[in-house]
Amino acid sequence: MIRILIALVLATTAAHAQDSESTLLKKMRMGTIMTEDSFRAMAEGNTITYNNAGDDIYREYYRPGTNRVVIEWTTPSDDGQVNCDLGTWRAEGNAICFDWNRTGTVCALWVDYQGEYISELVVDGERRGNVEVISEITQTPLYCEVGLVSLPASPVPAG
């Protein structure tokens, strides 16, 4: 009996995740594609938390007045450190591309669907269906130092 209940729960969870993904893909198709200016207006000076299938997976802080960005993954590394990377963002056609210092370039198409911001991975100009939604936008900055992220104070300048 317990095996049947577990199987039903797993099937329901998988169906819900698949339904959520197809709903997000529909919203991607129906949303307004964000331009460089609309993306900057949404992101600049903010920390954005991204969500995939109900789990917060990472946060990005967009430094005001620049195209610089800090990323922090919510899952700590094996040694307990919080992982982060520094990079820049730029528009490339309809996509917003991120050039990360450690992990290379990643591009995504962004849409605004009735105030909900959604991105879809783009590789070689092709949409790949990997969809993420923004779950939160705050003004709390992130600072990345040697693989660590600190909140909320900025690093002390040397000298």
What's the pLDDT score for residue 72? 86
Radius of gyration (C-alpha) of the chain in whole angstroms: 18
CA-angle at 132, arms to 125 and 42, nearest 5°: 85
Series of mean pLDDT values for 10-residue runs along the chain (159 residues): 35 39 81 95 94 78 94 72 86 95 91 93 85 91 64 46
Contact status, residue 128 vs residue 139, Cβ threshold 8 Å: no
* Domain contains 156: no
Any domain includes 93: yes
Number of domains in the chain: 1
Q: Please check whether residue 108 lies inside any domain of the structure.
A: yes
Domain that holds residue 18: 2-150
The closest of 88, 101, 84 to 43, measured between CA atoms, is: 88
Question: Whole-model pTM above 0.85?
Answer: no
Sign of torsion, CA 18 20 22 24?
Answer: negative
Question: Looking at residue 61, which CATH number applies to its domain?
Answer: 2.40.128
Contact criterion met (CB below 8 Å) for 50 and 38: no
Closest CA to 115 of 137, 97, 99: 137
Does residue 66 form part of some domain?
yes
* Assigned domain for 158 exists: no
In a domain, 101, yes or no: yes
Q: Indicate whether 155 belongs to any domain.
A: no
- Please check whether residue 157 lies inside any domain of the structure: no
What is each CA distance from 2 to 5, 13, 14, 76, 152, in whole angstroms? Answer: 5, 16, 18, 33, 47
Pick from 134, 105, 122: which is nearest to 27 by CA? 134
